[in-house]
Amino acid sequence: MMPNDTIYALSSGGLPSGVAVIRMSGPQAESVAISISGALPSPRVMGRRTIRTRNGNVLDEALVVVFPAPASFTGETCVELHLHGGRATVAAVLDLFSSYTGLRHAEAGEFTRRALANGKMDLAQAEGLGDLLEAETEAQRRLAQDLTSGHLSVLYRGWAERILHARAMIEAELDFADEEDVPGSVSERIWADVAEIADAMGRHLDRSAVAAIARDGLRVVIHGPPNAGKSSLINSLSGDSIAIVTDVAGTTRDILTTDLVLNGFAIRLFDTAGIQETQDVVEAEGIRRAELAVESADVILSLSDSSTFLPLPDNCIGQLIRVRTKIDVLPLAEGECYDVAISVVSGTGMDRLRAIIGACLPDLAAFQTAATPARRRHAEGLKLAHDELTYALKSEDLSLELRSEHLRRAATGIGRITGQTNVDDLLDVIFTSFCIGK
């Protein structure tokens, strides 16, 4: 990436479409726009213009809008062309841009990366923007919107500033202990505040599991013996023919996944191979993968078409829901133990099963995004900071210099979330996940 280049890209998604938006950003954006459309409208006001080639051939009638630097998304002068969204029209305009020296097609996430470099947003807000573009559920939208708005950044920067103040007070006591205007007891003045920060950070981290469900979805693994109705259940829950359903044992040999939305949250359903003794190498591998999926599941739907349910691996952590299946053809016997009985053919019990799965989700109405770490990377940085603060508070026998070093490490862990400390190693990973026009 060359920061002095003027970049351009289609920013409005797939074609054809009713309207296609092509964005330019950089030092030549305004001059190139003038050369292809004539005099430009006033800043941030749309004007209808005829887009022409250098030879004067008409390409399209478009709406043109200019955002002068620094009051733009990237902090550079930006120009947007709102064209008719035909493939040929867009291709012709992009080809026209490519003919100008100093213009090049933007790389993935380059517009947002320039906004970050120019101080228009911090790293956490940039990640939130990427999440907002990909949000498919209400919970994901709320989490991403709160991150993009900067609310979490304000919280994290506030903690970092208070830690910086604590370190400054320690340094003052170490260096100027003989001066009258320097506080004499750091412990009385700053460690109580450090303890308050650590407590608030701990409560914030406690909600990281909720954030993982909101962002990545609830992992629901369907588990059971062959022909218990696992594939039929995933097809019924998804409303699609995701899995092949036959009476032949071992039909499903690999993990099949599908996503659906329930109560505003994403649900990730996993159909697994039937658990049984087998000499078939391929089926055995499918069973091994099924057991691994069960171990990492948030919810386990253990299926059986009889009164007996298979035991689960010892290290399962997910919530177990025992599902008695095929009650339309295999009636329930007296004394059977289960959580819900269903028939995917008649639909009996399916609403009850959805309600039980929904009860495993957070309450969307009470979902407080501002108190929730938005990404695993954020939770890891906060965990590091919290551990360092906790150690500094407990290590009263250490010198003030060493305790101050733990505070510095804590501030560094927070700073990496918002990009206030060295995060060059993260930028390529983050921005390559963006679409080209953003």
Of 114, 134, 198, nearest to 375 (Cα)?
134
Please report the pLDDT score of residue 178 as a whole number: 53
Structural tokens at position 28: 């030549």
Helix or strand (DSSP H, E) at 199: helix 192-205
Please report the pLDDT score of residue 313 as a whole number: 79
One domain for residues 257 and 318: yes
Q: In CATH, what number is assigned to the domain containing residue 280?
A: 3.40.50.300
Backbone angles phi, psi at 293, to 5 degrees: -65, -40
> What is the spatial distance between Cα 324 and Cα 150, in angstroms, rounded to a whole number?
47
Pairing relationship of beta strands 299-304 and 319-324 according to DSSP bridges: parallel
One domain for residues 225 and 349: yes
Domain that holds residue 17: 6-121
Please report the pLDDT score of residue 200 as a whole number: 94
One domain for residues 316 and 353: yes
> What is the spatial distance between Cα 166 and Cα 191, in angstroms, rounded to a whole number?
8
Q: How many domains does the chain have?
A: 3
Which of 347, 364, 381 lies at the terminal end of a domain, its last residue? 364
Tokens 């695993």 identify what position? 376
Pairing relationship of beta strands 78-85 and 58-67 according to DSSP bridges: antiparallel
Structural tokens at position 250: 């071992």
Residue 243 domain-assigned (yes or no)? yes
Residue 30 domain-assigned (yes or no)? yes
One domain for residues 110 and 139: no
Average pLDDT, the chain: 85
Residue 96 domain-assigned (yes or no)? yes
Please report the pLDDT score of residue 418 as a whole number: 86
One domain for residues 107 and 32: yes
One domain for residues 93 and 177: no
User: Crossing angle of helices 138-149/123-134, nearest 10°?
Assistant: 160
Structural tokens at position 142: 């709320």
For residue 300, the cross-strand partners are 221, 320
> What is the spatial distance between Cα 357 and Cα 360, in angstroms, rounded to a whole number?
5
For residue 268, the cross-strand partners are 219, 259
Which of 55, 89, 121 lies at the terminal end of a domain, its last residue? 121
Please report the pLDDT score of residue 248 as a whole number: 43
One domain for residues 37 and 68: yes
Residue 400 domain-assigned (yes or no)? yes
Of 395, 396, 414, 392, nearest to 404 (Cα)?
392
| Exposure on the CB side of residue 388, measured as CA atoms within 13 A | 21
Please report the pLDDT score of residue 334 as a whole number: 85
One domain for residues 33 and 130: no
One domain for residues 230 and 329: yes
Which of 345, 364, 383 lies at the terminal end of a domain, its last residue? 364
Residue 336 domain-assigned (yes or no)? yes
Backbone angles phi, psi at 364, to 5 degrees: -60, -35
Residue 54 domain-assigned (yes or no)? yes
pTM of the model: 0.76
Q: In CATH, what number is assigned to the domain containing residue 198?
A: 1.20.120.430
Residue 135 domain-assigned (yes or no)? yes
Q: In CATH, what number is assigned to the domain containing residue 114?
A: 3.30.1360.120
Residue 335 domain-assigned (yes or no)? yes
One domain for residues 104 and 26: yes
Per-residue pLDDT in tens (0 to 9) along the chain, 438 residues: 556 799 999 999 889 999 999 999 999 999 999 999 999 999 999 999 999 999 999 999 999 999 999 999 999 999 999 999 999 999 999 999 999 999 999 998 999 999 999 999 999 999 999 889 888 888 889 888 888 988 889 999 999 989 988 888 887 777 655 555 545 555 567 899 999 999 999 999 988 888 888 888 899 999 888 888 888 898 888 886 664 444 444 444 467 888 888 888 999 998 887 666 666 666 667 777 778 888 889 999 999 998 888 888 778 888 999 999 999 988 888 888 999 999 999 999 999 999 999 999 887 766 766 678 878 889 999 999 999 999 999 988 888 889 889 999 999 999 889 887 655 554 665 566 566 666
One domain for residues 103 and 41: yes
| Secondary structure class of 425 (helix, strand, coil) | helix
Distances (CA, A) of 301 to 15, 305, 341: 41, 13, 12
One domain for residues 243 and 351: yes
> What is the spatial distance between Cα 75 and Cα 114, in angstroms, rounded to a whole number?
7
